Amino acid sequence: MNSSGYIVASDSAIIGVGETINEAAEQALEWSDDYDGVEALIADMESDLEKAHEEDGKPYVRRATAALIEAVEKGGTPEQWTIIDNIACTAEEAIEHNS
């Protein structure tokens, strides 16, 4: 599984994508009123870069495949996506990876 960029997610919704964490965080701010700016969001997420903060609904960052980033850019969060080897990917990529 190859990473091509980053996603920012909150619960199961992907709220930002980008080639860099900064780009993904900028998009995510459009959906979150909890932060004063990109730097504040990144600082919060960088406290544990690869750990999902799903327990309390805080945004988290993950490396992501090109296919997942493209799917989000074309139509929002796919109905199904997952994480394989700490990289967010489409359900189709996960099936292919596991077969």
What number of residues does the chain have?
A: 99
- pTM for this model (two decimals): 0.84
Q: Rounded mean pLDDT of 20-29? A: 94
Distance between CA atoms of 90 and 96, rounded to whole angstroms?
Answer: 10
pLDDT score of 94:
94
The pLDDT tens digits for 47-75 are 554 555 455 667 888 999 999 999 999 98
The Cα–Cα gap between 51 and 91 comes to 20
pLDDT at 98: 87
CA distances from 6 to 18, 56, 84 (A): 5, 21, 14
Contact 89, 1 (CB under 8 A): yes
Q: Which residue has the tokens 């996603």?
A: 7
Q: Round the average pLDDT of the chain to a whole number and report it.
A: 86
